[in-house]
Amino acid sequence: MLCRLAVSLVLVIGLTGLVVGCGGDSGGSAGTICGPGTHNENGVCVVDSDDGSTGTGTQTGSCDGIIEGDYKIENQDDIDALAGYCEITGNLFIVGQSTLTSCFLPALTVVGGELGMLNPALTSFSLPALTSVGGLHIVSTSLPSFSLPALTSVDSKLWVDNNYALTSFELPALTSIGDSLKFSVNSALASFSFPELTTVGDYLQIDGNTKLISFALPVLTSVGGDLSASKNTTLAQCLVDALVKQIEAGEGIGGDIWFAGDRHRSFRGSTNNTDCTCSEGGGVLEATCD
């Protein structure tokens, strides 16, 4: 088995255009599928021009409206009511009902508070214009994969937890996270990619993702708190060690480092895959595992 980690500017895992489950225009770059009200431009979903056309149940066209405070999406009517709004100053929660399986908001650019996807029935979403959120929680959904192609900053926490169907995701433009970054107990997750991420303000936690074999954090140089990577039973420990070395060569890790799942236990070994050896070739570190 080969597991890879980018150690320079090389992106290891090829997650081209993971905008999954967004029906509509499938032209342009292979693998990029855009939702109604958007079109593909060089692999990125872009909002259609304001020609008066609308897609059923989607937010389309130009907008300049701002919703003050929080907003909750429980059904399609709630999505339709967001047409004409580009910003929500408070929290946006996608919760709810078994009938709500997808959410397309192609005009939304800013969520000032937390963006929380907390619907177990959710299998797809499209937020191609979203550039900034206060926090991002994707918890207990049925998403198989996702991408947020325009997101550049998360002011607070970014957590991806307990998504049983999630196999991969990418945030190709994200450069900074103000608080913690956590991926926990995503039982099908095999890979994730943050090719532009340089800074995590607090802790970094990668725990209990039992099928994880590769990740790309090629320019991450600063973690403000602890770094925990444990119980990822297929992930090569030598790749994790290389990530630690990469960060420590930059601005460093502000807290403790551990690989056993509980910093307070006496066991100080690793609960990742230690039956692997790593070697570098062409600027990419490769792990060969028994």
Bridge partners for 206 per DSSP = 183, 229
Do 247 and 199 belong to one domain?
yes
- One domain, residues 34 and 104: yes
Same structural domain, 126 and 211: no
- Rounded to 10 degrees, the C-alpha dihedral 125/100/162/30 comes to -30
Distances (CA, A) of 172 to 15, 44, 181, 187, 250: 10, 11, 15, 23, 21
Separation CA 117–CA 199 (nearest Å): 24
Co-location of 180 and 283 in the same domain: yes
Count structural domains, the chain. 2
pLDDT one-digit tens code per residue, 183-228: 999 999 999 999 999 999 999 999 999 999 999 999 999 999 999 9
Q: pLDDT category, 50, cuts 50, 70, 90?
A: very low
Exposure string over 172-203, b if 16+ CB within 10 A, otherwise e? bbbeebbbbbbbbbbebbbbbbbbbbbbbbbb
Same domain, 77 and 92: yes
User: Residues 206, 275: one domain?
Assistant: yes
pLDDT tens digits, one per residue of 53-106: 333 334 444 567 999 999 999 999 999 999 779 999 999 999 977 789 999 999
* Residue 105: how many other CB atoms lie within 10 Å: 26
Cα separation, 57 vs 168, whole angstroms = 27
Residue 57, pLDDT score: 37
Show the domain range for 134. 18-49+57-148
Do residues 197 and 278 share a domain? yes
What letter would DSSP give residue 249? T
| 178 plus 279 within the same structural domain | yes
Mark whether 23 and 132 lie in a shared domain.
Answer: yes
Residue 163 lies in a domain: no
166 domain residue, yes or no? no
Average pLDDT of the chain, as a whole number? 81
Q: Do 7 and 40 share a domain, yes or no?
A: no
Q: Is residue 156 part of a domain?
A: no
